[in-house]
Amino acid sequence: MIEFNVCLVDDDEHIREGISTALEAVYHVDTYPTAEEALKAIPKKSPDLVLLDIGLPGMSGTDALQEIKKIDPEIPVIMITAFEDIDTVISTMKLGAHDYIIKPLHMDALEKTIKNVLETVRLRKEVQLLQERFLKENTPCFIAESNAIQDVMEFMRKVAKSPDTPILIIGETGTGKELIARAIHFHSPNFKGPFITVNCAAIPRDLIESELFGYEKGSFTGARASGKRGLIEEAAGGTLFLDEVGDLSLESQAKLLRFLEVGEFYRIGGTKKLFVQTRVVSATNKDIDAMIRNGQFRNDLFFRLGVIKVQVPALNERPGDIIPLAKHFLFEFSRKFGKKFTGISAEAERRLKESDWVGNVRELKNIIERGVLVGDGPELLLHDLGLIQKSETERFIMRGGPKLSFPSLSSEGIDLTFAQETMERFYIKAALKIADGNESKAARLLHMNHHTFRYRKNKLLGD
């Protein structure tokens, strides 16, 4: 049960005692004879409601109201006045007062007013508790000790308060961009609405527009007889998450820009203008600036999508978070697989810290899952993780000619699948770097067809 703290500010001792006695059976009440004393206490006490007399000695109630709103604009303030002075009442309401009551006070009416105000506070607190629980249970990328990710969390909470400002999340593969998008949705005024995800890279370019905007019946060969609502319509009142937004065609980019600017669009084959209110959150791991220079991405769309930009640091940039994250995943998979792991061995921790996390948090999670699955516990051992030392990994690289070196096979054996995937992961990343993120060029560098390359890339580096 949520307990409420009420702050009462009135210079009349009898009023303070009377109200305090009437309310303290239900609420915790702190009383103050002056605004100055109350303002010193409010930052520490964090009251849920303030009852504030207008005619105070020293600082007036009107001035005190402005100071309280500076401390915390969310605190509801009910003004107490001896006279129903309309000008004064209007002035305080414009300054943020929630309501007002007139002396002499009638306790029944006062208690009813307080109850109504605190019901709103109760609902807000319950939402905050749900949001914090969601973050804790669903966003392991936020389990961290580094200032880098703490700053991202704080910034995310601030920008989430708008219901429709577009947000662009930028970061490497596996840093948790979708989890951050979900956290933004859950912290926004739209949190009760739908969260609709569109993987722009996974939908063929000739179908992306029909998926986003929908279509009318008979608009093209193979269209449903009844037509189809697009994902933008499905996201009405909630959040539309465009993952890998850099993969949109220029034609689709133009239509998306129109929707972002005026909130309107047409279904394919339709003549009826549709309006939808939703927040668009997008994400990319590509160098959008380079794509703009190459004519692959619209500059105006980039600025519209990125009214707010959230830069997610790579795991290698925050090494202090590796072990806290690893322990979180350890206990998560211990519960999932019914095992009793209690910690990670010192040797395994050292190797985790030394590893190069190309796949970021997603790669770390996959390795811990593997370790818990094959390990016996109670500690997670280096052998369970199957990590190859960095120097061994580097032997897979061709040096000065066609000859390749491989890690030696000891009596303990070797995880061949992991070794193969390590080599593939290295070359896929290297090819993408040389090709400036162009998958078709990267595939040709590795003598692979595009579909096979994309499948291996998504499997080893994540979507």
Assigned domain for 362 exists: no
Read off the CATH number of the domain in which 229 is found: 3.40.50.300
Q: Is 285 exposed, middle or buried (0-12, 13-18, 19+ CB in 10 A)?
A: buried
Looking at the structure, tell me whether residues 255 and 155 fall in a common domain: yes
Among 284, 313, 342, the domain-final residue is 313
Q: Which amino acid is at 348?
A: A
Q: In whole angstroms, how far apart are CA 41 and each of 28, 118, 153, 178?
A: 14, 20, 28, 41
- 46/49 Cα distance (integer angstroms): 9
Q: What are phi and psi of 313, to 5 degrees?
A: -70, 145
Looking at the structure, tell me whether residues 124 and 19 fall in a common domain: yes
Among 74, 95, 129, the domain-final residue is 129
Q: Which residues of the chain have pLDDT under 70?
A: 1-2, 84-85, 127-128, 130-145, 218, 220-223, 225, 388-414, 462-463
Q: What local confidence, expressed as pLDDT, does residue 31 receive?
A: 93
- 70/410 Cα distance (integer angstroms): 67
- 276/161 Cα distance (integer angstroms): 19
- 359/173 Cα distance (integer angstroms): 6
Assigned domain for 55 exists: yes
Q: What local confidence, expressed as pLDDT, does residue 298 receive?
A: 92
Chain centroid offset of residue 378 CA = 33
Q: Which amino acid is at 334?
A: S
Looking at the structure, tell me whether residues 83 and 187 fall in a common domain: no
Tokens 């569109």 locate to 198
Looking at the structure, tell me whether residues 110 and 257 fall in a common domain: no
Q: Which amino acid is at 311?
A: Q
Assigned domain for 281 exists: yes
Q: What local confidence, expressed as pLDDT, does residue 402 receive?
A: 42
Assigned domain for 169 exists: yes
Chain centroid offset of residue 279 CA = 13
Classify the C-alpha dihedral 321-327-331-332 as positive or negative: positive
Number of domain units in the chain: 3
Assigned domain for 351 exists: no
- Give residues with Cβ within 8 angstroms of 97, minimum separation 6: 65, 77, 78, 79
Looking at the structure, tell me whether residues 439 and 291 fall in a common domain: no
Q: Is 181 exposed, middle or buried (0-12, 13-18, 19+ CB in 10 A)?
A: buried
Q: Which domain holds residue 298?
A: 140-313
* End-to-end CA, the chain: 43
Chain centroid offset of residue 260 CA = 21
Which of 68, 48, 44 is closest to 56 using CA atoms? Answer: 68
Read off the CATH number of the domain in which 460 is found: 1.10.10.60
DSSP letter at 217?
T
- Indicate the angle between helix axes 86-94 and 61-71, nearest 10 degrees: 10
Please, are residues 318 and 202 in contact by the beta-carbon 8 Å criterion? no
439, 442, 446, 450 alpha-carbon torsion, rounded to 10°: 20
Please, are residues 284 and 290 in contact by the beta-carbon 8 Å criterion? no
Please, are residues 343 and 379 in contact by the beta-carbon 8 Å criterion? yes
Q: What angle do CA 56, 57, 60 make, to 5 degrees?
A: 50
Assigned domain for 328 exists: no
Helix, strand, coil fractions of the chain, as percent rounded to 5 = 50, 15, 35
Looking at the structure, tell me whether residues 123 and 144 fall in a common domain: no
Looking at the structure, tell me whether residues 211 and 117 fall in a common domain: no
Looking at the structure, tell me whether residues 301 and 444 fall in a common domain: no
Among 262, 292, 313, the domain-final residue is 313
The C-alpha R_g of the chain, in whole angstroms, comes to: 29
Read off the CATH number of the domain in which 119 is found: 3.40.50.2300
Looking at the structure, tell me whether residues 122 and 147 fall in a common domain: no
Assigned domain for 382 exists: no
Q: What local confidence, expressed as pLDDT, does residue 411 receive?
A: 66
Chain centroid offset of residue 216 CA = 34
Assigned domain for 176 exists: yes
Classify the C-alpha dihedral 18-19-22-25 as positive or negative: negative
pTM of the model: 0.58
Q: Is 122 exposed, middle or buried (0-12, 13-18, 19+ CB in 10 A)?
A: middle
Looking at the structure, tell me whether residues 122 and 204 fall in a common domain: no
- 113/162 Cα distance (integer angstroms): 29
Looking at the structure, tell me whether residues 163 and 295 fall in a common domain: yes
Tokens 């914090």 locate to 132
Looking at the structure, tell me whether residues 210 and 238 fall in a common domain: yes
